Amino acid sequence: MTRIALATCAALPDLDRDDLPLQDALTGLGVEAVATVWDDPAVDWAGFDLVVIRSAWDYAQRRDEFLRWAEQVQAVTRLANPSSVVRWNTDKHYLRELELAGVPVVPTMWIEPAQNLSSRALHTRFPAHGDFVIKPAISAGSVDTGRYTAIDATSRGLAITHARRLLGADRTIMVQRYLKSVDTVGERAHVFIDGEHSHSVLKGAMLDGPDVGVDGIYKEERMSPTTASAAEIEVSRNAIAVALDTVRASSPAGTDLESFLYARVDVVSGDDDEPVLMELELVEPSLFTSLAEGSLDRLAQAVLRRATAGR
Ligand SMILES: Nc1ncnc2c1ncn2[C@@H]1O[C@H](COP(=O)(O)OP(=O)(O)O)[C@@H](O)[C@H]1O
Ligand SMILES: [Mg+2]
């Protein structure tokens, strides 16, 4: 019998709601689909034909451990997406590579811990007007992400505290203008399965103020089905193609990188209304199959194909 592990985190040992239908669909296909906690030492990863990373949302502060885990799993069985993808995609510095290759991304100022900036120096780097966002380069689930108002002294002070807290923990921060379209139009998530566009969902705004800490490992999202414009699909396809080329170049021979099992391309409208990339999720995106007819079956079939490939 084909056995597939759906890797999750200790806080969600029975999987996130978003992934339960996948487990059921795989069971319906005659496969044993088991929820496994990625850092549970008792799991025998070699006993699975395929390990699919799903709601492993607690790696942001221990990424090295997560990368080691991905490499160890890949040494004994198939991992989707592969460990070289996990390495590349869990640090948002990848956005710079995509940008260099011509993909439009949200304009970002990167501040590295090694720069040792004083509060004053941080202050001068924050935007002078409008709202702005501070978030860690290694993050998931909108955790440690805050929205600030440039001309409000209290808000600016909170932004500096937030930035110093992350930098003090040796984490790179990203500073971006708050894109108003996130409030008015919404962020769009385009889900690709095995390289093909499957469905798209609209995501409501996530940030209403300073980072006050999240009670849990992710912030609750409000999603609804939507259709994708041709321009957004074009940007998404291009981002995925560049990512595939980039990761292939750094992958050991034999890595399965025909296509990504899943990719979610999060797109927002820039100030001139053109689509820009907020993030390319290749590791642990919610896939929202419950919002799009047929998408669950496409995903389950794609998972099964990988699990049984070469048999
Ligand atoms: N520049 C921005 N403008 C508006 N909203 C933003 C911006 N950056 C992040 N956000 C909000 O914060 C959420 C999380 O940010 P994101 O970069 O997607 O990180 P994560 O990896 O935590 O999902 C986004 O879905 C969006 O709602
Ligand atoms: Mg996101």
Per-residue pLDDT of the chain (311 residues; tens, 9 = 90+): 999 999 999 999 999 999 999 999 999 999 999 999 999 999 999 999 999 999 999 999 999 999 999 999 999 999 999 999 999 999 999 999 999 999 999 999 999 999 999 999 999 999 999 999 999 999 988 899 999 999 999 999 999 999 999 999 999 999 999 999 999 999 999 999 999 999 999 999 888 889 987 777 888 889 999 999 999 999 999 999 999 999 999 888 888 899 999 999 999 999 889 999 999 999 999 999 999 999 999 999 999 999 999 87
What is the residue type of 311?
Answer: R
In whole angstroms, what is the distance from residue 187 CA to residue 189 CA?
A: 7
pLDDT at residue 217, rounded to an integer: 81
- Whether the CB of 279 sits within 6 Å of ligand 1: yes
Q: How far is ligand 2, taken at its centre, from the CA of residue 140, in Å?
A: 7
CATH level 3 topology of 3-88: Rossmann fold (3.40.50)
Using DSSP bridges, classify how beta strands 187-193 and 196-203 pair: parallel, antiparallel or unpaired: antiparallel
In whole angstroms, what is the distance from residue 301 CA to residue 262 CA?
A: 12
**3-state SS assignment for residue 85:** helix
114, two tokens: 């090694």
- Whether the CB of 239 sits within 6 Å of ligand 1: no
- Whether the CB of 181 sits within 6 Å of ligand 1: no
Please report, for the chain, the start and end positions of each structural domain, with discontinuous segments joined by +.
3-88, 90-104+180-286, 109-177
Residue 264 CB-density burial (10 A; 0-12 exposed, 13-18 middle, 19+ buried): buried
Q: How far is ligand 2, taken at its centre, from the CA of residue 49, in Å?
A: 29
- Whether the CB of 211 sits within 6 Å of ligand 1: no
CATH 3.40.50.2300 describes domain 90-104+180-286: no
Q: How far is ligand 2, taken at its centre, from the CA of residue 269, in Å?
A: 15
- Whether the CB of 276 sits within 6 Å of ligand 1: no
- Whether the CB of 281 sits within 6 Å of ligand 1: no
- Which of 178, 182, 190 to mutate to test ligand 1, by most ligand atoms within 8 A of the CB atom? 182
Which ligand has the shortest distance to the CA of 146? 1
141, two tokens: 């689930």
Identical topology for domains 90-104+180-286 and 109-177: no
Decide if 125 contacts 49 (C-beta within 8 A).
no
Beta-bridge mates of residue 279 = 266
Decide if 80 contacts 34 (C-beta within 8 A).
no
pLDDT at residue 74, rounded to an integer: 96
CATH architecture for segment(s) 109-177 = 2-Layer Sandwich (3.30)
Distances (CA, A) of 183 to 61, 106, 178, 203: 29, 15, 10, 10
Decide if 299 contacts 198 (C-beta within 8 A).
yes
